[in-house]
Chain A
Amino acid sequence: MRTPLRPLTRRGLLTGTLGSAAMLAVGGSLAGCGTKGAQQTEAGCASEDLSATEKKLAFSNWPQYMDVDEKDESKRPTLDAFIARSGIQVTYTEDVNDNNEFFGKVQNQLAGCQPTGRDVMVLTDWMAARMIRLGWIQQLDTSKMPNVSANLLPSLRGRSFDKDNQLAVPWQSGLAGIAYNGKVTKELRTVDELLTRPDLKGKVTALSEMRDTMGLLLQSNGHDPSNFTAAQFDDALNKLKKAVDSGQIRKFTGNDYAPDLAKGDIAACIGWSGDVIQLGFEDDKIKFVVPESGVMLWSDNMLVPNKATHKANAEQLMNYYYEPAVAAQLAAYVNYICPVQGAQAEMEKIDPELAANPLIFPDDAMLAKAQVFMALDEKQEREYESKFQQVIGA
């Protein structure tokens, strides 16, 4: 039977393919000039500050990372108060869902020294480190942010990618440590137990975020995740590989481990304090543990990208969020670690129970064990990430 479709013959397909191949060859020689480097320098990509005349600010943040009014979700109490006080119109956009995805979104503009349309964006340590390395981030004037200078948590000062605290200001922080469900298993204290205890076999997950999982493993070997060698990394990776090969670790996850831990499908895991604290509100058998060997501290940081034209306004906003009372109000909503000293005292007035929670206001003993993962250069980042992907993948 004939079909109304035009017959598709092998010859036709072949001609089409050959034609495309020929076009590729021609075009390939046209496009054969490579790409320019994305590296920018302060002199090569200077930004103008129009804050004096334009009372505006474009702020990109992660979803559910800003307090909202209980009755009216469109109202954001702390941000609205800032707008009222400073007269700066803030355009608040929740368009950061994933560090890598967001990088792809702004990469072409920043590599070409073009404006991104954003004055402040909030990105996790390692992504902040990458952008700083590429020269994409504007230096801040710390004299305009006395609250930040005075109140930033000491553990977050002098981080390897921002030695002078002039580029990245933490918005919220968190810990990566181990967690277990007390209904399913007995107490757990160390990373080594997590990776070897026979009763946990096949009921353990770890994070697919390399810096968190590998940081904890480096610590468990007695090494410093903020300053380690390639050999030490390989040691830690071997340890992880053994646990994967033996079937101890069932899966590597993003934050989708939380419901499984709550249900008891997994008994213990490497996880984030923010998730575990939420689970802890509903079930006090679910515990977050700071291992003896150490715990990883990460932050999401406010950054001002190149060609953002409202840097002074951004500094004003950062300074505002480092007022202890404002920080406490925000922390009461988001439940992450508050990077602002003095907020704990303010939290007493809002909710004494939260003020006493060490996963929002870690005590000194906990902070003494907290470390931030080393800033990697592009070659290291690619090498370590590939090795890690191979262990957690095929």
Chain B
Amino acid sequence: MSALAHVPTGQSTGAKPPPAARRGRYRALPYLLLLPGGGWLLLFFALPLLQLAAASLYDPGGSLATGYAMTWAFGNYPDALAAYWPHFLRSFGYAGLALVLALLMGYPLAYAIAQKAGRWKNLLLVCVVAPMFTSFLVRTLAWKTILSDNGWVVGLLRDVHLLGPDGRLLATPFAVVLGLTYNFLPFLVLPLYASLERLDPRLLEAASDLYASPVRAFRRVTLPLSMPGLVAGTLLFFIPASGDYINAELLGTPNEYMIGNVIDSAFLVRLDYPQGAALSFLLMAAILAVVFGYLRRAGTEDVL
């Protein structure tokens, strides 16, 4: 701001600053504007991350009482992976399954709101966002009540023999995937909506004038144009879903525990900080790998 305020003063006194210096000032401006955000990121993201990286290399033989020595114990990583690889697979499996379900529901929903809702558009958008007004925990606990063994949902499914007399929904993988799908759906729908809302319907008319079938028009026009939203939405959905542990904790049993539950218990219950830190980094690495692979396939350089 000071650079901006200074310029008119210089002009009014008639002493024109040399053009090079003036350019220099303006050149510094973006960096000054970056300072608050960058400082925040450094202090609350980069430094804790460093601390975590260091903790993941502490001597695994250390303890809370004696402290942990830094021994560059890279062996913590293979050890953690060997002990908990099923939880990694399960996390990505559940998150992937939830993503597929969310896409099946979310894409038509976003399309309908963006293109067909007319004057109901804003109301429907509010409906998508409305559950966010209550806490994540409360929403998940509500599902616990809905899916309860004595609730009407399970009762109905038993009556129509979709579930055996002792069948249940709660405390099964189904409940966990359902919880993930429900809780992260808005993160998928909103970016998709933003993309689809800009879709010009005349393009679809043009496609049909050129003898494209509705399916072909969708594949060649709608889908490519919604790619930015689709990519952003799937990432916003998949990344938090694969690290989530609340749904597995509340709607599942230890047999459904995901990698987030293991990290939680390493830090809070078992007090094994090197292992907890190593698992956190492995999770980050795995998510980055998945995201890279996905972006490469989705060809984002063209669409983003």
Question: B150 near A39 (CB under 8 angstroms)?
Answer: no
Given the interface pairs A17-B288, A101-B268, the reply to whether A37 lies near B304 with Cβ below 8 Å is no
Complex formed: what's the CA distance from A113 to B290 in Å?
44
Contacts of A1 in B (CB 8 A): 198, 225
Question: B66 near A39 (CB under 8 angstroms)?
Answer: yes
Question: B300 near A8 (CB under 8 angstroms)?
Answer: yes
Question: A385 near B254 (CB under 8 angstroms)?
Answer: no
Question: A10 near B254 (CB under 8 angstroms)?
Answer: no
Given the interface pairs A23-B50, A27-B50, A35-B68, the reply to whether A3 lies near B255 with Cβ below 8 Å is no
Contacts of B257 in A (CB 8 A): 393-394
User: Residue A260 at the B interface, CB < 8 A?
Assistant: yes
Chain B, 246-277, CB within 8 A of any chain A CB: 253-255, 257, 265, 267-272
* Distance between B275 CB and nearest chain A CB, rounded to angstroms: 10
Complex formed: what's the CA distance from A382 to B276 in Å?
13
User: Residue A7 at the B interface, CB < 8 A?
Assistant: yes
User: Residue A32 at the B interface, CB < 8 A?
Assistant: yes
Question: B58 near A5 (CB under 8 angstroms)?
Answer: no
User: Residue B223 at the A interface, CB < 8 A?
Assistant: no
User: Residue A106 at the B interface, CB < 8 A?
Assistant: no
Question: A394 near B268 (CB under 8 angstroms)?
Answer: no
Fill in one digit per residue for B37-61: 1 if any A CB lies within 8 Å of its CB, else 0.
Answer: 0000000001101110111011100
Question: A104 near B268 (CB under 8 angstroms)?
Answer: yes
The residue on A at minimum CB distance from B225 is: A1
The residue on B at minimum CB distance from A392 is: B254
User: Residue B70 at the A interface, CB < 8 A?
Assistant: yes
Contacts of A394 in B (CB 8 A): 86-87, 90, 254-255, 257
User: Residue A356 at the B interface, CB < 8 A?
Assistant: no
Question: A260 near B149 (CB under 8 angstroms)?
Answer: yes
How many B residues touch the partner, as a band?
35 or more
Chain A, 237-264, CB within 8 A of any chain B CB: 250-252, 260, 263
User: Residue A389 at the B interface, CB < 8 A?
Assistant: yes
Complex formed: what's the CA distance from A252 to B171 in Å?
10
Contacts of B63 in A (CB 8 A): 37, 378-379
* Distance between B184 CB and nearest chain A CB, rounded to angstroms: 21
Given the interface pairs A28-B54, A39-B65, the reply to whether A10 lies near B296 with Cβ below 8 Å is yes
User: Residue B67 at the A interface, CB < 8 A?
Assistant: yes
User: Residue B292 at the A interface, CB < 8 A?
Assistant: yes
User: Residue B166 at the A interface, CB < 8 A?
Assistant: yes
Contacts of B166 in A (CB 8 A): 202
Contacts of A263 in B (CB 8 A): 149-150
User: Residue B209 at the A interface, CB < 8 A?
Assistant: no
User: Residue A24 at the B interface, CB < 8 A?
Assistant: yes
The residue on B at minimum CB distance from A251 is: B253
User: Residue A36 at the B interface, CB < 8 A?
Assistant: yes
Question: B53 near A24 (CB under 8 angstroms)?
Answer: yes
Contacts of A386 in B (CB 8 A): 270
Residues of B within 8 A of A (CB): 46-47, 49-51, 53-55, 57-59, 62-70, 72, 86-87, 90, 149-150, 166, 171, 195, 198, 225, 228, 253-255, 257, 265, 267-272, 288, 292, 295-296, 300-301, 304
